[in-house]
Chains A and B, each alone.
Chain A
Amino acid sequence: MSEVEIVVRLDVMLARRKMRSRELAERIGITEANLSLLKSGKVKGIRFETLAAICAVLDCQPGDLLEAIPRES
């Protein structure tokens, strides 16, 4: 297993942009349930298409949404 894990900071960006999850989900074309899974990090991965759509709507970079942190042993 990798020593680093990817943490999703989408909730932080949503708070900064004062946007609700439902609105973001509607604008990028995924279900609110899937967006919730993404926020909690309970997904296997994110498609570039989805990542690009989120960055466009939230006016941010992928690095604002994803952070690599050392995995707790």
Chain B
Amino acid sequence: MTQPVSPPRGSTDKVPPMSELPAWRTLAARADVRTLSLLGVLVALIVIGGITKPDEFLDTRNLQLVLTQASVIGVVTVGMTFVITSGGIDLSVGAIVALSSVWATTVATQEYGFAGILFTAVLVGVGCGLVNGLLIAYGGMVPFIATLAMLASARGLALQITDGKTQIVTIDGILKLGERDSYILGIPPLVLVFAVVTIIGWLILNRTTFGRRTVAVGGNAEAARLAGIDVRRQRLYLYLLSGLCCGIAAFLLIILSGSGQNTNGNLYELDAIAAAIIGGTLLSGGRGTITGSVLGVLIFTTITNIFALNNLQSDVQQIAKGAIIVAAVLVQRRTAAHST
């Protein structure tokens, strides 16, 4: 066999029906049960919000608010999903967001205006991701340790740059983007960025060779290597991608908060990991879902929103958040168990 097998033209792929399961089950199995059960959790939350605060919760402005608040952590989570799918972890995302937002809002950077801030935020994010990637892929460091080191250094550097001060952004073009005048057809620009990042992330993970390699590396790195995939280079790219997402998130955060502060992005790493895992991405790698991750983020943001609207205090919020994480995962497991 010296010639590669050529695919038969116009071949279709009809999957035989999965035995005698009822139609909805087959449908559910195809649309990924986990995703459906997450949607169920989200709908339940919306019902709760609608019952407890009908006027404030079921309101266009509130929808805009929830989506806006989800944007920053959402973009970070998309990057995190890739890293976790590849069997890695990135603990430095919050610190990179802090460093990017701080570097991009120094007096010197602000002199270059809108573009200067955007460029710096993204570049710093990618730079940190590059360091992570090089340490992990070519330095042979465990992702947990390498990104933990990055967490510490990036936070430290952010503190050094700000000297503990809050850096106020004075560029109107940036500030305006967070305000209602800039909404496009009622959609806040931040939400648009989030949506675009999500869609691109979904396409990359599910429709490109890059996504396939990510899944292969996470599923079985040795098999991927022996199949001819450059595992190290793939790992490098993945941490770069996570860094890029952090840079974009930092820019969104600058728009949202009108400032840069070294405390930005506090505990983003945990929120992003939690959202990805709840969404159905395997912490051990080999399976990842952008849709699930985004639903995870939306669930968290909606919970926070409902609590705030009902004026529940942070102690209650934290307890309930923990309970809902457990509930969401249990619901998922049950549904998944019934359908496989």
- The answer to whether A and B belong to the same complex is no
Q: Mark B residues whose CB is within 8 Å of A.
A: none
